[in-house]
């Protein structure tokens, strides 16, 4: 039997598995991805990608290229049971460097990730390879894999990550169950080509007779989704004359567009009982299944990959303790569950059971939107659960009660270049602090040791670049938006240590810098 050794084995070449593998490769981790199919997924399943996911793509150098293939910054327009405008979500802020909602085609993302992975020397992608069995030792996972010629291969990995979807075989092998509900409602998806209308915003029809969604996509693509009733039969609703008539009642010209795909799906709100068993982990749909109403299923999976990749690299290459991996579930599971809850709430609003409930909910929303604060809360998508951890791998002290995803403004360096902040943070830990002598003299003694780390010095907007002498290991930046200054001030910190996934790890107070206090070891793993 052929034997192959690797550091991480990823099962499943969907967008989450490929994202994880690309991120691992960027950290120098030897990675193999196996996929039982003969190619990557070509079905256009997910159609919405958010700002956090684009930021993760930026980390592996693909955000700019992918942005050319998507529709940036679309909103959602809601219509009531009479087909009249009800409300809209039009987020304008770009807190993390990108628009909050963007339309894309999943095959484009998968193809981009697969092509990029094939350029990495320390990663490989093997199609037609199926996981058969798993055995564990104290420091490795031994996987029996079978290819199309029925040849068995043994892959020895330090860690295994199952990214093999909602029907995860990896999850079954480790006897982990999904907890939650599968809902009886089914939806019909119809994908069309050659869209004529240039409107980029999604239209959601909150109609008790037949709830529907119209989602324009890139390259003149268009998707319709229709809720099915218990009495609807698959063979009937899949007939073109039936669903084209449904389309005609919404936008008549759309009913004549060429058909690309039609499919029926159900939806789930489930979370795996455990995301880790010894050296085997779950990510993406293998760990959680999210209803489609908020467009967060794939985005939650990309958050998993972003959280997990650097932790595996830190344990394998940076000398951090393996207990770091335990924080993956404690950090990601609550946020994934919160997004599932949000999706269910949106689904309840989108699918009124009858005319009476539609009138009640929709008139209530209209009344609430008369209040500017509430309208802004809806319009700017502020009801979306914030990306922060109340428990996990960070130092909890003073104002730093939870780790949060830091904003990503455009910043300017001493040479006049303006780029998004992460371009200066590089691919490891980072520190941002006010540019002063105490920071330059003391900060290196107060931050994590033996990990790749970048030092940035933040310049007050009133100070001239030329008046500051900066040591060679520091990069001087100015943030005219004030967002980094705001977060430092809100935390009452002189400096902020940032993890590789761009979450805050530790605040450094002025007393620690000014007094030369070097007694607190930042390498301690403090979990809350």
The pTM of this model reads 0.92
Report domain 2-70+104-179+269-347's class.
alpha beta
How far apart are alpha carbons 525 and 394 in whole angstroms?
A: 7
| HSE, side-chain direction, 13 A CA sphere, residue 429 | 21
163 vs 140: CA distance, rounded Å: 18
What are the pLDDT tens digits along the chain (528 aa)?
Answer: 789 999 999 999 999 999 999 999 999 999 999 999 988 877 778 889 999 999 999 999 999 999 999 999 988 888 888 888 888 888 888 999 999 999 999 999 999 999 999 999 999 999 999 999 999 998 999 999 998 887 899 999 999 999 999 999 999 999 999 998 877 778 999 999 999 988 889 999 988 889 899 999 999 999 999 989 889 999 999 999 999 999 999 999 999 999 999 999 888 889 999 999 999 999 999 999 988 777 788 999 999 999 999 999 999 999 999 999 999 999 999 999 998 888 888 777 777 777 878 788 777 777 877 788 877 777 666 777 889 999 999 999 878 999 999 999 999 998 889 999 999 998 999 999 999 999 999 999 999 889 999 999 999 776 666 667 889 999 999 998 999 999 999 999 999 999 999 999 999 998 888 765 444 444 444 444
Tokens of 343: 């999706």
What's the pLDDT at 310? 98
Whether the CA torsion 434, 436, 440, 446 is positive or negative: it is negative
Let me know: does 418 contact 408? Beta carbons within 8 Å. no
Instruction: Please identify which residue in the block is written with the tokens 């930026």.
Output: 58
Backbone angles phi, psi at 400, to 5 degrees: -90, 75
C-alpha to C-alpha distance for 483 and 489, rounded to whole angstroms: 10
Domain spanning 388-514: which CATH class is it, in words? Answer: alpha beta
Please give the Cα distance from 296 to 48 (Å, whole number). 8
What single string gives the DSSP state of each residue in 88-105? EE-----TTSS-SEEE--
- Which neighbouring-strand residues pair with 152? 146
State residue 176's pLDDT score.
96
- Residue 511 CA from chain centroid, whole number: 36
Segments making up each domain of the chain, as ranges: 2-70+104-179+269-347, 388-514
Task: Count Cβ atoms below 10 Å from residue 97 Cβ, excluding itself.
Answer: 20
State the pLDDT at residue 525.
41
pLDDT of residue 352: 77
For residue 386, the cross-strand partners are none
């Amino acid at each position: 039997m052929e034997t192959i050794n690797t550091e991480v084995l990823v099962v499943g070449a969907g967008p989450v598995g490929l994202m994880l593998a690309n991120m691992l490769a960027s950290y120098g981790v030897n990675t193999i991805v196996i996929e039982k199919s003969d190619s990557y997924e070509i079905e256009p399943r997910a159609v919405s990608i958010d700002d956090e996911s684009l930021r993760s793509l930026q980390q592996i150098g693909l955000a700019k290229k992918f942005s050319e293939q998507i529709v940036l910054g679309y909103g959602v327009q809601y219509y009531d049971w009479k087909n009249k405008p009800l409300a809209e979500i039009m987020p304008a802020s770009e807190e993390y460097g990108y628009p909050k909602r963007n339309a894309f085609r999943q095959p484009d993302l998968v193809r981009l990730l697969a092509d990029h992975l094939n350029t990495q020397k320390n990663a490989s992608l093997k199609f037609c390879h199926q996981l058969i069995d798993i055995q564990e030792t104290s420091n490795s996972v031994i996987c029996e894999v079978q290819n199309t010629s029925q040849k068995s291969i043994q892959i020895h990995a330090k860690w295994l990550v199952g990214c093999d979807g909602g029907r995860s075989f990896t999850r079954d092998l480790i006897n982990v169950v999904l907890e939650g509900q599968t809902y009886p409602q089914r939806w019909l998806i119809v994908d069309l080509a050659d869209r004529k209308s240039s409107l980029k915003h999604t239209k959601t029809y909150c109609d008790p007779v037949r709830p529907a969604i119209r989602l324009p996509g890139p390259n003149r693509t268009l998707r319709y989704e229709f809720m099915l009733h218990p009495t609807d039969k698959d063979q009937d609703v899949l007939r073109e004359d039936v669903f084209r008539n449904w389309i005609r009642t919404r936008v008549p010209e759309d009913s004549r567009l060429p058909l690309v795909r039609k499919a029926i799906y159900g939806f789930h709100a489930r979370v795996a009982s455990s995301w880790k068993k010894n050296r085997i982990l779950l990510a993406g749909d293998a760990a959680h299944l999210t209803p489609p109403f908020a467009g967060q299923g794939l985005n939650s999976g990309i958050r998993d990959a972003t959280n997990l990749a650097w932790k595996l690299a830190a344990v394998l290459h940076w000398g951090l303790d393996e207990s770091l991996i335990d924080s993956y579930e404690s950090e990601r599971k609550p946020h994934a569950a919160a997004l599932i809850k949000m999706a269910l709430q949106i689904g309840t609003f989108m699918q009124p059971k009858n005319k009476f409930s539609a009138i009640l909910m929709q008139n209530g929303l209209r009344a609430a939107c008369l209040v500017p604060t509430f309208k802004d809360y809806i319009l700017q998508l502020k009801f979306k659960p914030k990306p922060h951890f109340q428990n996990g791998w960070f130092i909890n002290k003073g104002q730093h009660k939870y780790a949060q995803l830091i904003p990503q403004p455009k910043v300017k360096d001493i040479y006049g270049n303006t780029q998004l902040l992460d371009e200066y943070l590089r691919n490891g830990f980072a520190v941002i602090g006010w540019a002063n002598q105490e920071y330059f003299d003391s900060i290196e003694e107060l931050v994590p040791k033996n990990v790749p780390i970048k030092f940035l010095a933040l310049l007050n907007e009133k100070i001239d670049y030329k008046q500051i002498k900066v040591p060679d290991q520091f990069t001087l930046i100015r943030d005219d938006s004030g967002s980094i200054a705001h977060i430092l001030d809100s935390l009452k910190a002189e400096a902020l240590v940032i993890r590789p996934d761009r979450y805050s790890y530790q605040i450094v107070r002025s007393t620690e810098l000014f007094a030369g206090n070097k007694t607190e070891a930042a390498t301690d793993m403090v979990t809350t």
